[in-house]
Each structure stands twice: as C-alpha cells, then as structure tokens.
Structure 1
Amino acid sequence: MKTLALAAFGLVSLAASAASAQTAGPANPGPAIPGVCVYHNERLIAQSTAGQSLATGIQRLVEEVRAELQPYAAQIETEAQALQQGQSTIPPQEFEQRRTALQQRVQEAGQLEQTRDNELRYTRGVQLQAIAQAVDPIIVAVYQERGCGILIDRESVYVVNPAMDITDTVIQRLNAQLPTLTFNRLQVPVQQQQPTAAQ
C-alpha cells in the first residue's frame, strides 16, 4: 500500500506545484515577441476542470484500493504476530505450515497491490489521453488565432511575458468543451501486461 500512497501524493504535489509555479514573476516582464507563444500543459492539468476531476477521481480510486487491500495487511500482521509469539509453543510441523501459508498470503497481497497499482496508472494514462485529444485542436486553434510562429513549452522557459502565454485561453475553452471526467478503474489490457511481466 506504500506504492498507492506515493502515487496519490505525487498527483497532489503535481497539481500544487503547477498551480504555484505561476504566482511569482517580474514587475516588468519585457516586450511580447510577435509570433512567439508559450503553453503550460502542467498548469492546464492542474487548473482545468477536467484535470481537477482527474485528480479527484484518481484519489477516490486510490482510497477504494486501500480499503480493498487493508484486510489483507491486517490478516498478515495478525498471523505474523501470532507466529512470532507462539514460536516456542506451536508444534514445529504446524509452525512451518502456517509460516508457508503466511508467505503465500504476503506474495498474493503483493501481487494484488501491484495489479491495482498498474490499473491506477493505466486508468490515469487513459484519462490524460482523453484530455490531450480534447485539448490538441484547441491549442491549434488558439495558435492560429494568435498568429503564433512557434509554440514553446512553459517548462522550458524561466520567465515569460504573460501576453505570450496562451494557457489561460486554452483552459477556458477546454473547461467549456470537457468540463469533467467520469471514470472507474480500468483493467490493463493483456497485450500491455506482457512487457511488464517480461522485465
């Protein structure tokens, strides 16, 4: 369950860092350069309603998976303590059988956690792809409307004149076109599971 906690923390900190990255800037950002535009995808994911519903939905799924895995962890911990405390009183054959069964339960729980973690990653990837498919034509339209000759990733630019940044316009249009995402946890397709198993 540590992996799931880290995944949830990563989503929250990604949204927080992308939102706070835009707060500071110089009083005089310099001239807007004609034909040069900037776009910040991380901010779009953090601030658009679709991106926010993605973060909320993934958090909900993480909590569901935690609730599913918690009984396994509790049973394993209880049995491990019982074996440790009864090591001197449990007959050797019974102790070995219980120890083997416990090891198998630990392995099964680990496999289930890995499966759920893969499902969460896959689900998030599918939803990010849905956002990308919706936002790509919006970016192209805004690029053309603004007369951009080049579109630079905001992550590659330290400071930029806000007049050159098309992100707010893209977010507004995406919010109108794709206001929310509704989804459940998806199983990873078999053809995508095989390379992972081979590694």
Structure 2
Amino acid sequence: MKTLIIAATAAASLLATAASAQQAPANPGPVIPGVCVYYNARLLAQSSAGQAVEARMQQLAQEVQGELQPYATQIQTEAQQLQTSGSSLPADQLQQRRQALQQRAQEAQQLESTRENELRYTLGMQRQAITEAVSPILTALYQEKGCGLLLDRESVFMMNPAMDVTDLAIQRLNTALPTLSFNRMPVPAQTQAQPAAAN
C-alpha cells in the first residue's frame, strides 16, 4: 500500500524542523509595524492537536495495511501455484483459475483505492477541524498585534522573529483544541463523484 498519509504527515514535520533549524541572521532587521507572519505547517506539526492527528493517521494507515496484507499474500500464493502447476491443468480449468485470480486482484485493488481515499478524506477533515479552530485565534492575534498584513511564512524567506505569531497561535490552539480523536471516515458519495466529474 502506498504510504501517502504517513508521507504527508512526515513532510509537515520536516517542514517545521527545517524552519526552526534555519540560520537566523545576526541582525534580523527592524520589526515592520503592521506586518505579521504565520506558519501553518509548523502549527500542524507542533500543536498538540496536529501531533494527535499525525499519530492517529499513522495508526489508521497501519490498520489498513494489516487489512490489505492477507489479500496480497493470498493473490501472490495463488499466482505462484498457477505458475508452477498451470501446465498440468486442463485449459478450461487454467482459464477459470486465471480469471478468478484476476477478479480477486481487481477487488483487492479496489479495496486499496477505497481505503486510501478514506485515509485522505479523514486527514483532510481533521486538518479542516484544526483550521476552523485556529481561524478565530488568528483573527484575535491579528487584532491584538495591530497587524495590517498577515503573511504566510512559506512565502517569507527571512524575517524578524518578533513578527511571527505562530508560537502564540500554537499555545492558544493547544488550549482551545488539545487533541482530536477520530476513526477512518467513509468518503461521502458526492465527494467520490467529484473527481470523476472533473476528469
């Protein structure tokens, strides 16, 4: 199974690590009044809710892998048996077993695709919950700090750290949304239909 979710959450952690490890200049320059900066990827990686999502998504991905592994093993075993004993079978039996194997392989691929879509959808919904929780926090910080402009940290190469509101956002989010508990979510039918309509 593709490790899409684990890779996505690991990427968020790497982004946060890279940002904190970036060499700060000896003279960070002046604080520009009214300009604030916020780093969403760091909030997702370092907030308690973001870390809970990452840990739970890894658990869910492992559960899915455990569910899919028996299918892969069974299909591989059957394919090996057909390869070794296929020549001794009558042509019609060989054809039937090949078709049955092909059908099982297609069913396994469909299940894998369904589970991957469920994991992707589940991750998206949890990130949406974090975004909804942090939105009023950012609005409050914007007003408290007298920001006239709030920039995305990913668009800013260097800055004076005094303009970064991310740490405060993380602290307040940890209070407002200390954790998230969830299970794998089925993808709603209208969401499943959208990619097909877009193609």
| Normalised TM-score (structure 1) | 0.96
- Asked if the contact 1:122/1:188 (under 8 Å) is kept, the reply is yes
Structure 2 CA distance for aligned equivalents of residues 195 and 136 of structure 1: 27
> Secondary structure of 2:112's match?
helix
> Secondary structure of 1:151's match?
strand
Equivalent position amino acid for 1:22 in 2: S
1:46 aligns with 2:45: yes
- Asked if the contact 1:38/1:164 (under 8 Å) is kept, the reply is yes
1:118 aligns with 2:120: no
- Asked if the contact 2:53/2:123 (under 8 Å) is kept, the reply is yes
Q: Give the equivalent residue in structure 1 for 2:84.
A: 85
Q: Any stretches of 5+ residues in structure 2 without a counterpart?
A: none
Q: 1:102-158 CA deviation, whole Å, 9 max, x = no partner?
A: 000010000000100110111111111110110000000011101111000000000
Q: 1:54-92 CA deviation, whole Å, 9 max, x = no partner?
A: 101110110110010000000000001111111221221
Structure 2 CA distance for aligned equivalents of residues 31 and 133 of structure 1: 32
Q: Which runs of 4+ in 1 moved over 3 A?
A: none
> Secondary structure of 2:21's match?
coil
Moved more, 89-98 or 178-187: 89-98
Structure 2 CA distance for aligned equivalents of residues 63 and 79 of structure 1: 25
Structure 2 CA distance for aligned equivalents of residues 102 and 91 of structure 1: 17
Equivalent position amino acid for 2:7 in 1: F
- Asked if the contact 1:49/1:175 (under 8 Å) is kept, the reply is yes
Q: Give the equivalent residue in structure 2 for 1:161.
A: 160
Q: Any stretches of 5+ residues in structure 1 without a counterpart?
A: none
Q: Give the equivalent residue in structure 1 for 2:187.
A: 188
Structure 2 CA distance for aligned equivalents of residues 82 and 19 of structure 1: 49
> Secondary structure of 2:29's match?
coil
Equivalent position amino acid for 2:101 in 1: L
Q: Give the equivalent residue in structure 2 for 1:13.
A: 11
The Cα RMSD (Å) is 1.1
Q: Give the equivalent residue in structure 1 for 2:56.
A: 57
* Identical positions, percent: 58
Q: Give the equivalent residue in structure 1 for 2:175.
A: 176
Give the Å deviation of 1:52: 0.5
Structure 2 CA distance for aligned equivalents of residues 154 and 110 of structure 1: 39
| Normalised TM-score (structure 2) | 0.96
Give the Å deviation of 1:12: 1.2
Structure 2 CA distance for aligned equivalents of residues 151 and 23 of structure 1: 23
Count, aligned residues: 197
Moved more, 67-76 or 81-90: 81-90
Structure 2 CA distance for aligned equivalents of residues 41 and 50 of structure 1: 13
Equivalent position amino acid for 1:19 in 2: T
